[in-house]
Amino acid sequence: MDPAADLNAALLRAHPAAARCLSPLGRRLYFPKGIPVQSREAAGARFNATIGQLRGADGHAAPLPALAPMLQGLDPDEAFLYAPQGGLPRLRQAWARRLAARAAPQAAPSLSLPFVTGGITHALSLLADLFVGPETNVLLPDPAWDNYVHIFGTRCGARLHSYRSVGPAGLDLGALEAGLAGLEGPALVVLNLPSNPGGYAPTLDQAEQLAQLLAAQPGPLVVLLDDAYQGMVWEGGHLAQSLLHRLGALADPERLLVVSADGATKELFFFGGRVAFATFATPPAAAPALEEKLTAAIRVSVSCASSPAQAMVATALADPGLQAQRDAQHADLAARWRALRAALAAEGVEAWPFNAAFFALLPVQGDPEALRRALLADGLGVVSAGAGQNLRLSYATLQADEMAPVAAILAKRLRA
Amino acid sequence: MDPAADLNAALLRAHPAAARCLSPLGRRLYFPKGIPVQSREAAGARFNATIGQLRGADGHAAPLPALAPMLQGLDPDEAFLYAPQGGLPRLRQAWARRLAARAAPQAAPSLSLPFVTGGITHALSLLADLFVGPETNVLLPDPAWDNYVHIFGTRCGARLHSYRSVGPAGLDLGALEAGLAGLEGPALVVLNLPSNPGGYAPTLDQAEQLAQLLAAQPGPLVVLLDDAYQGMVWEGGHLAQSLLHRLGALADPERLLVVSADGATKELFFFGGRVAFATFATPPAAAPALEEKLTAAIRVSVSCASSPAQAMVATALADPGLQAQRDAQHADLAARWRALRAALAAEGVEAWPFNAAFFALLPVQGDPEALRRALLADGLGVVSAGAGQNLRLSYATLQADEMAPVAAILAKRLRA
């Protein structure tokens, strides 16, 4: 009996595209009937002597007094003991409800229960474990978050390709189409909307064209949606929710696997928490096999995500005040965005279209790295990494009244 | 210019054994001058518009009100914003002091600054990224924590070998020596003392013989010390601290790289926190290259460890009451250990020597998995995974007064 082979066969029946896209490691992964499974089986036993974690006489977590009072309003069992490999159940349920609410009024596809990871990077890295090996063609946006190249290239040794994501008129669908046409064999394409470093969300029309283009691919193809900045769109008429729902509804599992990575990192402004999720749009029959692959991958990478941060996010998601707090923070970010846009226009500093997330992308002449250093000498820190012939400016770290002096510094160095 | 090649050349000069043991991925890894580096360079700038994380008007973390009050007594900048890739600086310094204090009065080798990981599994997994590829011979204890096989075998595809770790007279040094003699090429050996699932720490004499045996190996060899249960030894005259210090002092960097994985998971009974450390015993000249490899590996796996748990551990380590709290918890665990030992003896249930950590290992006749299921039907949950022809009983989850009925259940099924 080979448990990985059985699992792969089950996945092939339920989701041919997913099975055909598995990397060599992805094919090897299965969740063994090890300590976590045996521990769960003993949960109802009179004496549960399975797992190497301490419980007090009342059967509950017994944190040291030096740690216990630091956490307030959280269940100590959730916050101090091991979480299951896929995350705290009520956190997963809460995120699932959040995703479902966002799908409406779109046709809601079937989604797997969101799988908790230690941040968005970890979600990408686990999905890369499953689907990206040295033979995989990976199509990345350009410009892109600089870590993509290292996750998929340095780490997995994949064959990297890129497509221009945004042109002067918004999403460059022609470039994506050409990039997809050039892929051979099992492949993975990364979409990141709103984009980092571009700070761009497409129009609703463009988003629909994008979904149609992807759904028409012959595959087998994994469409990995990096939805880190989901919902953070400051301009009406642009895509404010994940493509997961629309594309998931269109995707044929014979050809396409659609999966999203999103999380509390940006959406709840909980950067250090490292709580994110991987969620598949998949027929329900394929969900158990896909979840088992993820469970196996997290068990050998970090075992499980950090419990205090999971308990915090689960509790915050149940707070009726959360939405109003996020709305206020979004209004503040939108004000910074408007102030930056006005300041750049006033100084005549050129920028790519930007309307979302935290970023503006500024095209530059000459060496971006030299310009970055020159701006640093002027008192302004920006990023050249992964930005191509551009510089990335994060306005989330600036106040609205700082945009004018920032634009003036930029103008001195960048104005044509 | 190839930054990975430059880094590998620097490591070869400073630590030949480490360089020769690098896996293909380990050789590829370098830390790019990406967003984290560019963000640190801009830390003193008047306008720091580098990183995609929100700060309030005062320049500090601005957590949502739904999250902020859950953490008490912690610095919000530490707890809510991104930590550096290697961890919060004061946490690393505090753990370094803790390790140094434990070395005395042994000859203290030079140690790298402890590198924060998301739990012990993550430390093992990052070190496997650096040093274990499909060509690597990995020598594991038998019995062993069941996840070793999956981290080094399933994940890395390494060639696995095993050595019997404990015999009736304690550490089985002959088995380890034979196992080491059978290794060819770059290799890695895992030591886990106190052991899981054995619950055993060797005598001081045996520990010294073990260090001498390892130090005499021709190499190149990575000695990976899984020190998860460091210090949790309930019987005098046995090794109560890591071999890192003694072996680090003996190890010749031409032949041997010594590294430990330890953490707050068990030592501070903070199971869900996922805060652990990877620390090299190395000449100072090699520490920067080894740290850069780890930094690159964490950047592509989880980016950084969870901040709230890091801030909690850093703050707890600075609490003058911590030691007394740990001593009290240790006294309680020692009482459970004594009660279990007495109860097993009273019932005539055989066990391997056990004196440390949370576990007793019980040899069984017949199929351990069938016995595990039979015991579960009797109301007692134990673990068969990774335990070989034995069952693992975790007494950390039982109270002292439960040991007698537990031993009675065991006796019914196991007594010869």
Q: Please give, rounded to a whole number of angstroms, the shortest distance from the CA of A216 to a CA of chain B.
A: 31
pLDDT at position B70 over 90: yes
In chain A, residues with a C-beta closer than 8 Å to the C-beta of B55 are 396-397
Contact A122 B305 (CB under 8 A): no
Q: Please give, rounded to a whole number of angstroms, the shortest distance from the CA of A323 to a CA of chain B.
A: 10
Contact A35 B405 (CB under 8 A): no
The per-residue pLDDT for range A51-72, each reduced to its tens digit, is 888 888 888 999 999 999 999 9
Contact B385 A269 (CB under 8 A): no
Q: Which residue in the set A270, A326, A399 is minimally distant from B57, CB to CB?
A: A399
pLDDT, residue A57, reads 84
The per-residue pLDDT for range B234-263, each reduced to its tens digit, is 999 999 999 999 999 999 999 999 999 999
- Read off the pLDDT band of A416 (50, 70, 90): low
Point out the least confidently predicted range of A102-116, A175-189, B2-16: A102-116
The per-residue pLDDT for range A228-279, each reduced to its tens digit, is 999 999 999 999 999 999 999 999 999 999 999 999 999 999 999 999 999 9
In chain B, residues with a C-beta closer than 8 Å to the C-beta of A70 are 71-74, 312, 315-316
CATH topology of B3-32+82-317 equal to that of B322-414?
Answer: no
Q: Please give, rounded to a whole number of angstroms, the shortest distance from the CA of A245 to a CA of chain B.
A: 26
Q: What is the largest CA-CA distance in chain B?
A: 76
Contact A80 B326 (CB under 8 A): no
pLDDT, residue A104, reads 67
In chain B, residues with a C-beta closer than 8 Å to the C-beta of A379 are 45-47
Residue A410 CB-half CA count within 13 A? 32
Contact A64 B309 (CB under 8 A): no
Q: Please give, rounded to a whole number of angstroms, the shortest distance from the CA of B298 to a CA of chain A.
A: 10
Whether the CB-CB separation of B411 and B393 falls below 8 Å is answered with no
Q: Which residue in the set A146, A157, A299 is minimally distant from B150, CB to CB?
A: A299
- Read off the pLDDT band of B372 (50, 70, 90): very high
In chain A, residues with a C-beta closer than 8 Å to the C-beta of B402 are 47
Contact B302 A274 (CB under 8 A): yes
Number of helices followed by number of strands (H, E) in chain B: 17, 13
Cα nearest neighbour of A123 on chain B: B302
Q: Please give, rounded to a whole number of angstroms, the shortest distance from the CA of B260 to a CA of chain A.
A: 16
> Element (H or E) spanning A48, and its range?
strand A47-48
Contact B157 A28 (CB under 8 A): yes
Point out the least confidently predicted range of A56-60, A197-201, B59-63, B352-356: A56-60
In chain A, residues with a C-beta closer than 8 Å to the C-beta of B196 are 52
**What residues form DSSP beta bridges with A58?**
none
pLDDT at position B105 over 80: no
Our CA angle for A274, B154, A38, nearest 5°, is 75
The per-residue pLDDT for range A105-116, each reduced to its tens digit, is 666 789 999 999
This prediction has a pTM of 0.97
**Backbone φ and ψ of B57, nearest 5°:** -60, -25
Output DSSP code: residue A395.
Answer: G
Kindly provide the ipTM of the predicted complex, given to two decimals.
Answer: 0.96
In chain B, residues with a C-beta closer than 8 Å to the C-beta of A305 are 118, 274, 306
pLDDT, residue A105, reads 67
Structure tokens at B384: 């068969």
pLDDT, residue B268, reads 97
What does the alpha-carbon distance between residue A33 and residue B368 come to, in Å, rounded to a whole number? 13
Contact A67 B38 (CB under 8 A): no
Q: Which residue in the set B64, B78, B122 is minimally distant from A301, CB to CB?
A: B122
The CA-to-CA distance between both ends of chain B, in Å, stands at: 68
In chain B, residues with a C-beta closer than 8 Å to the C-beta of A132 are none
Structure tokens at B275: 């805060």
In chain B, residues with a C-beta closer than 8 Å to the C-beta of A55 are 396-397
pLDDT at position B56 over 70: yes
pLDDT, residue A128, reads 98
In chain B, residues with a C-beta closer than 8 Å to the C-beta of A118 are 118, 274, 302, 305-306
In chain A, residues with a C-beta closer than 8 Å to the C-beta of B129 are 155
Provide the residue ranges of all domains of chain A, joining segments of one domain with +: 3-35+67-317, 322-414
Report the residue of B312, B313, B392 to disrupt the A interface, i.e. the one with the largest count of A CBs within 10 Å. Answer: B312
pLDDT, residue B104, reads 67
Contact B118 A359 (CB under 8 A): no
Q: Please give, rounded to a whole number of angstroms, the shortest distance from the CA of B185 to a CA of chain A.
A: 23
According to CATH, what is the number of the domain B3-32+82-317? 3.40.640.10
Contact B380 A50 (CB under 8 A): no
Fold (CATH) for A3-35+67-317: Aspartate Aminotransferase; domain 2 (3.40.640)
pLDDT at position A48 over 70: yes
pLDDT at position A167 over 90: no
pLDDT at position B343 over 60: yes
Query: Could you give the percent of chain A with pLDDT greater than 90?
Result: 89
For the segment(s) B322-414, the CATH number from 2.40.50.500, 3.50.40.10, 3.30.1490.20, 3.90.1150.10 is 3.90.1150.10
Q: Which residue carries 């004594």 as its tokens?
A: B338
Contact A308 B305 (CB under 8 A): no
pLDDT at position B134 over 70: yes
Closest CA to A274 of A160, A124, A101, A130: A124
What does the alpha-carbon distance between residue A236 and residue A353 come to, in Å, rounded to a whole number? 14
- How many C-beta neighbours within 10 Å does residue B261 have? 27
Q: Please give, rounded to a whole number of angstroms, the shortest distance from the CA of A133 to a CA of chain B.
A: 12
Taking residues B292-309, what's their average pLDDT? 97
Contact B301 A301 (CB under 8 A): yes
Contact A382 B39 (CB under 8 A): no
pLDDT, residue B169, reads 85
**What residues form DSSP beta bridges with B262?**
B277
- Read off the pLDDT band of A387 (50, 70, 90): confident
Contact A54 B271 (CB under 8 A): yes
pLDDT, residue B15, reads 98
pLDDT at position A346 over 80: yes
**What residues form DSSP beta bridges with A111?**
A281
pLDDT at position B107 over 90: no
- Read off the pLDDT band of B98 (50, 70, 90): very high
Give me the torsion for CA of B105, B106, B108, B112, rounded to 10°. -100
Q: Which residue in the set B25, B35, B274 is minimally distant from A306, CB to CB?
A: B274
